[in-house]
Amino acid sequence: MIVLRGLWSLFVATVTLVGVLVGLQLGQALGPMLEVEAGTNEGTMFTTGMSTVGGLLGFLFALFAFRKLVFYIQRLERVSLLDKAAASIGVVLGLAVALLATVPLGNEGVGIPLRILASVIGVILGVGFTMSAKQQIIFLFPSLATSTPAGEEMVPVQSKILDTNIIIDGRIADIVATGFLEGSILIPQFILQELRHIADSSDELKRARGRRGLEVLNQLKTLANSDVRVWDDYPPEEERIEVDARLVKVAKMQGAAIVTNDYSINEMGKLQAVPVLNVNELAAALKPVYLPGEDTSVTIVREGKEPGQGVAYLEDGTMVVVEEAKNLIGQTVPIRVTSSLQTAAGKMIFADLVRESSRDSRGRL
């Protein structure tokens, strides 16, 4: 951090000084054109003003440019040492060949732009050549093959990124324990920070939810078949983006899938072609299917909306409306499915009571 601050100060001071000098030169050049005589008070004020404007523009440009430079330098950490070495060799070779080949053109007239153009083409061809010859470079320098990009180490193939809601939900621990979720599990640093903020909330309910999320994370880390990693490589200039949007952007950028139970994240992922694994959709797909005519047993828990109806629930929470079961609340009764209805709130099953006579007759048939 100290080194970074020192480089920042040096860069800003240098660019600001360059801006002052450029402003001074422009002031001296524009003075005669604007009929401002040099050496007079007006001329001095004009050149001083131009220098000040140039220094201010240089300072603002330095603030913006340094942050971009740091961002791109951080991105270079993802590039393997082999690629860096190949690109560097290509730049040197291409530039050297281009400059040597264009010596006869000289450094006057059209020779200068032609040599610049040849240098750019030579660099491009040189980098392309050396990048295509990486295997031969590995043969000459085997140690280069041992370095891998930092991003590849941190974001393995088939990685899954968890959002805050699915962590607090808790079912993800059971799913991972069964072995149905392949690949590493990534917890972005901003998701972990959000969990910590929730766990430290003054609201008792929020605090309990946040602490439950942290407990689920610790449970995930103790599972034998799980690979849980805290991932922190988000571009600093995008930290102000809303958490859900950041999560989708990180998943798209790293080629990972999002595991969630949140509707908005599910739809945002679909819009941006990001794979989304919705636990609610998984639970709905795993619900048992009862066809008309099938028998089962349920416990009547309350009255239905229509006269004589009783209401029961299957183990997965599916509502069952049983005809003529109003007076059987608290009893476990055999039923026969007559139909089912899919609603926005979920699936409903309609059934009739199975009388002893109908059961006997069906058994004889």
In a 3-state reduction of DSSP, which class is residue 301?
A: strand
CA torsion 167-169-174-180 (nearest 10°) is -70
Q: Kind of pairing, strands 346-353 and 319-323?
A: parallel
What are 43's two structure tokens?
């001329």
Cα dihedral 301, 307, 309, 311 sign: negative
Tell me if 290 is assigned to some domain: no
d(CA 176, CA 216): 11
CATH number of the CATH domain containing 269: 3.40.50.1010
d(CA 300, CA 310): 6
Q: What is the pLDDT of residue 336?
A: 92
CATH number of the CATH domain containing 327: 2.40.50.140
How many folded domains does the chain comprise? 4
Domain of residue 7 covers: 2-76
Q: Which parts of the chain are beta strand (E)?
A: 160-162, 185-188, 228-231, 257-260, 276-278, 295-303, 310-313, 319-323, 332-343, 346-353
pLDDT digits (tens, 9 = 90+) for 235-281: 554 556 788 888 888 888 778 889 988 888 888 888 888 889 888 88
**One domain, residues 202 and 269:** yes
CB 48 within 8 A of CB 54: no
Q: Amino acid identity, residue 49? A: G
Q: What is the pLDDT of residue 320?
A: 92
Q: What is the pLDDT of residue 141?
A: 59
Count CB neighbours of 197 within 10 A.
12
pLDDT digits (tens, 9 = 90+) for 61-85: 877 777 777 666 666 666 666 677 7
Of the candidates 262, 285, 308, which is a domain's last residue? Answer: 285
Of the candidates 56, 76, 96, which is a domain's last residue? Answer: 76
d(CA 88, CA 86): 6
**One domain, residues 162 and 246:** yes
Of the candidates 146, 166, 185, which is a domain's last residue? Answer: 146
**Which positions ≥6 away from 33 have C-beta within 8 Å?**
none
Tell me if 158 is assigned to some domain: yes
Q: What is the pLDDT along the chain (365 residues), one digit of tens a residue?
A: 455 566 667 777 887 888 888 888 887 777 677 666 666 777 778 778 888 888 888 888 877 777 777 666 666 666 666 677 777 888 888 888 888 888 887 777 667 778 888 888 888 888 777 777 766 666 665 555 544 444 444 455 678 888 888 899 888 888 888 888 877 888 888 888 888 889 888 888 888 999 998 998 888 888 877 788 887 655 554 556 788 888 888 888 778 889 988 888 888 888 888 889 888 888 777 777 788 888 889 999 999 888 889 999 987 778 899 998 988 899 999 999 999 887 656 678 999 998 765 555 455 44
